[in-house]
Amino acid sequence: MYMDIYLSVVIPAYNEERRIGKTLTKLRAYLDAQSYGYEVVVSDDGSGDTTREIVKIIAEGWPQLRLLTATHNQGKGAVVKRGMLSAHGRWVLFTDADNATPIEEVEKFWPFTKEYPVIFGSRYIKGAHVHVPQARHRIILSRLSNLLIRFMAVPGVWDTQCGFKLFERNAGQNIFANVRLTRFGFDIEAFAIARQLGYRFKEVGINWYNDFESKVRTGREAIRTLKDLFKITWNKLRGKYRQVGYVRDFTPPRQQ
């Protein structure tokens, strides 16, 4: 069964009862129309609402959908890692529960899969289109944060935080086996690890729609991201990201 899965879609979720059903409906409509096998993995972060119950009900009529649960809230990085390491697809995409980047945007990634084991969406390069922008203060803080991220951790990457990233399975497992951060800084850490392990990555402009119900608190997360940046830099200096958790180098799988 697992050999037939070409794409795994991992969705981290925390108290997403208002959005998860709609997002899963859109995902299924798109994925059922594709010629390749797929699975969808909702990795729940100890939700206190009805998120898990909604996913379980939907999964009753959708065998490609499965749910991973955490007993308590651990952070987005922790549940993305759990989902990535449990995925069976030849390619693994993680996307946010708010569907800010429509699943159709993955089609922009396929032309690059023969050369790059990590391909990710960006809101800030040529080809990107932000249809519903964030508040001005969030944009300013985001760009200032990115300057620091590029200086300290991953030079050349314009958007580390867009929640739409595709990994070849072996590369994804090698990278996420080494991820240590459990909160929002895990994206930056994943890029730093990919570079340490010698994986090339490609940034692709995507369509993106801001969700005004976002749970991210700009000021609080900016402080956390700054702390995480110093942790990543310290871990790099200590060689913490050189231990590969799995085996096999990147060999581009044949697309079906």
Domain boundaries, the chain: 2-237
3-state secondary structure of 31: helix
pLDDT of 252 higher than 60 = no
Radius of gyration of the chain, Cα coordinates, nearest whole angstrom: 17
> Given the structure tokens 């729940």, which residue do they identify?
44
Residue 91 β-bridge partners: 7, 168
At residue 239 the predicted structure's pLDDT band, cuts being 50, 70 and 90, is: confident
- Please, what sign has the CA dihedral across residues 162, 166, 169, 170? negative
Query: Do residues 199 and 166 make contact, with C-beta atoms less than 8 angstroms apart?
Result: no
**What gap in Å lies between CA 116 and CA 166, rounded to an integer?**
10
pLDDT tens digits for range 95-134: 999 999 999 999 999 999 999 999 999 998 999 998 866 5
pLDDT of 240 higher than 60 = yes
Rounded mean pLDDT, 226-254: 69
**What gap in Å lies between CA 5 and CA 85, rounded to an integer?**
15
Name the nearest CA neighbour of 132 among 99, 94, 93.
99
Greatest Cα pair distance in the chain:
49
Higher pLDDT, 220 or 48: 48
pLDDT tens digits for range 185-228: 899 999 999 988 999 999 999 999 987 555 555 556 667 777 88
The CATH-assigned architecture of domain 2-237 is Alpha-Beta Complex (3.90)
Q: With left for phi above 0 and alpha for psi between -120 and 50, is residue 125 left, alpha or beta?
A: beta
pLDDT of residue 35: 97
Residues 6+ apart with CB under 8 A from 153: 188, 189, 191, 192, 229, 232, 233, 236
